[in-house]
Structure 1
């Protein structure tokens, strides 16, 4: 089965684009989380919002991959990796800019909220080592971040798996219907290989005028 028919290549491209967009959006959400309503940001100690964002990322990645009518069984695993990478990338990028901005341009006055101007490559590069160091902490301290990644991966895996099964089942049903329609059509008379297509009257005709015939019975 070709890449085009299996939906592998379109699914890979669409899922990658969706994962990059989701990672950027999550990075902004992490960077400007203090501007969200306090009731939303602190619900369930902040876990509710993070899990919701992880599920939303998984849904968007699954929709992007599923739009290619995927038939390849490898795409659910790829979608899970895309969703997990989008969550991890969003966490790291947002935290890197936040840490880098605080280290390079300490806040003046009473306001310490990040600004849109803080989104620079220099700030991201300054804070990247510190953001990555968080993932090397003991699991008992970083389980929240790994939980959000796992939720996104599991949800994307499930959604794309269901989509692949549905597309493959629809294809099998279409093939079965075509076979049934072909069987219902009137078939041509069977003849052996190399046998000329002749009617029974033509086959019973004499070879020429001089061939003796049986006398007709009275």
Structure 2
């Protein structure tokens, strides 16, 4: 039987790609959240939408990590870290651009919504220190952000753990199925030949005279 791969390297690569994509998507959602319907954005004081996005990110990361039939027990932990990083990265990137665009905009009394043109490296660099400073505040004030990160991490951990357990259980069941499908060998006595001797075409017994050979 050939050696089965653990799926660690493909899972790491696919999970990293999914993390970057999810972080970018969440950054867009944070940056343009004011364009969402008010009923959706304010449902549950905004927590319902954020928790839903965290669960979607966890699902996408888990699907990416589990696509290569993972067998390594470390992949669930890696998936949890990937999902947490995707949520944190999306929060930081979206907030950085939003804060940077507001600080670099001309001083005016009117509030302008973020635009696609505001997505620049200059705005991100301007607002990055302020976005990171939020995570240094007491958890009593920033518990919402940590909650969204924890939801994504726990969901990804559970999903990939179930995937790994199913794959490992299927691998253990394959040898048993192969053993069951093998044909049962016919019993032979200790001195019985494996193949019965061929019978003569004449089919006679010892007392039947044989025909003399013709010259």
Q: Post-superposition shift, 1:187?
A: 7.5
Structure 1 residues 3 and 76, CA gap change in structure 2 (3 angstroms): farther
What does 1:108-187 correspond to in 2, within 5 Å? 108=108, 110-182=110-182, 184-186=183-185
Structure 1 residues 173 and 112, CA gap change in structure 2 (3 angstroms): same
Q: TM-score, normalised by structure 2?
A: 0.83
* Unmatched 5+ stretches in structure 2: 195-215
* Unmatched 5+ stretches in structure 1: 192-197, 201-218
Q: Give 1:86's aligned residue.
A: 86
Q: Deviations over 1:57-115 (max 9, x none)?
A: 00000011111110100000000000000000000000000000111123657341000
Q: TM-score, normalised by structure 1?
A: 0.82
Q: Give 1:6's aligned residue.
A: 6
Whole-Å Cα distance in 2 between the matches of residues 51 and 99 of structure 1? 23
Q: Give 1:28's aligned residue.
A: 28
Whole-Å Cα distance in 2 between the matches of residues 28 and 51 of structure 1? 16
Give the number of equivalent residue pairs: 193
Whole-Å Cα distance in 1 between the matches of residues 161 and 114 of structure 2? 40
Structure 1 residues 168 and 53, CA gap change in structure 2 (3 angstroms): same
Q: Give 2:64's aligned residue.
A: 64
Contact 1:3–1:9 (8 Å) recurs in 2: no
Q: Post-superposition shift, 1:175?
A: 1.5
Structure 1 stretches of 4+ moved >6 Å: none
Q: Post-superposition shift, 1:125?
A: 0.5
